[in-house]
Amino acid sequence: MAQPFPFAAIVAQEDMKKALLMAAVEPLLGGVLIFGDRGTGKSTAVRALTELLPPIETRDGCRYNCLPAEPQSACTVCNPSSGLKPPAIVKHRAPMIDLPLGATEDRVCGSLDIEKALVAGEKHFEPGLLAAANRGFLYIDEINLLEDHLVDLLLDAAASGVNVVEREGLSIRHAARFVLVGSGNPEEGDLRPQLLDRFGLSVDVRTIDDLDQRIEVIRRRDTYETDPRGFVKLWAKRDAAVGRRVIAARKILRQVEIPDHVVRRMSQLCLRLGIDGMRGELTLMRASRAAAALSARLQVTWDDVADIAPMVLCHRLRRDPLDDAGSAPRIERALASIDDTGKDRHAHG
């Protein structure tokens, strides 16, 4: 099977690439939602990203992607019975699981293995897609067409990092730590506002309108389809450099500090925009840390926050029927209204 299109070879779409890289550095961001026109590289970018990440270690045959040093109680491979030795430790690519639109709740969460129940009379758990995505990515194309109860379920698992199954006499609990990435075409329907708010980052991608960039896109794609191996090899060094940035950022992420005056301005920005709840500020903090870490810095600046604010806050804004400029200009105006001391220039008194 041909390797995915190289991440570094994707033309333009800088916001989408940055959002995916930040999510790869900081899984607590809560996933990425990518909405936009067909043929803008949404699924290409997601699949390319997993090639950049370091391989994960687990046991041979493990279906839960357990850490070898922390086997899960639900995993019979990593926890063999009768004192048997667990299988050898192996390395493989970080999982990137596609969730089909027609998936059932049993397929997503896991269920009773009917064959073993009928043949051997044993209750045996058959892991689902959440187990397969542990320590990797779960990708949903056309997420706006997925049933709402499944989206709720996936967001809950992504936020808690745990999948709990209580049904048919089974009581199973296993890790489900993954980055949820959803993409879709807004012409086919929107997500409910309650679900939009649960995604950490949301990016709108548009068809490239720069002539030179459009030509470069079709040239690169044509070269890749003609000689996939040669094209991937040509971009290997640049892809590897992006991968090293992600690994280095992960190592320093928890050391990145956010000065008090920057936190103050974050909260002032969310107040100015009327953002409901505290999720906006928390996501701004996490995303700005990831952005600084990707730039190999140990301190967040206000420029980091201003740069990522649209992808963190646009989808959390209340709709304003009197403002036809759109969400991004509203955020730009709010950013301009906060001075470098964190005071609202429009505040009275």
For residue 181, the SS3 value is strand
Give 328's DSSP letter: H
List Cα–Cα distances, 295 to 47, 76, 311, 334, in angstroms.
23, 42, 18, 25
Beta-carbon contacts of residue 270 (< 8 Å; ≥ 6 apart): 280, 281, 284, 313
CA pseudo-torsion sign 326, 36, 242, 257? positive
pLDDT of residue 324: 44
pLDDT of residue 23: 94
> What per-residue confidence (pLDDT) applies to 320?
61
Q: What is the reported pLDDT for 120?
A: 61
Residue 277's pLDDT is 84
Q: Which of 214, 264, 279, 297 is catalytic?
A: 279
Burial of 169 (0-12, 13-18, 19+ CB in 10 A): exposed
pLDDT value for 146: 86
Type of residue at 113: D
Closest CA to 291 of 14, 2, 46: 14
Mean pLDDT per 10-residue section of the chain, whose length is 349 residues = 87 94 91 87 88 91 94 90 87 91 90 68 83 93 86 84 84 90 84 78 92 96 95 96 96 97 95 89 96 97 96 85 62 84 50
pLDDT at position 176 is 93
| Dist CA 100 CA 108 (whole Å) | 10
Residue 221 annotated to the active site: no
pLDDT of 210: 94
Length of the chain as a residue count: 349
User: Which backbone phi and psi does 13 adopt, to 5 degrees?
Assistant: 50, 45
- Predicted pLDDT of residue 121: 61
| CA–CA distance, 150 with 304 (Å, rounded to integer) | 34
Residue type, 80: P
Residue 260 CA from chain centroid, whole number = 28
- Confirm if 257 and 300 have CB atoms less than 8 A apart: yes
H or E stretch at 34: strand 32-36
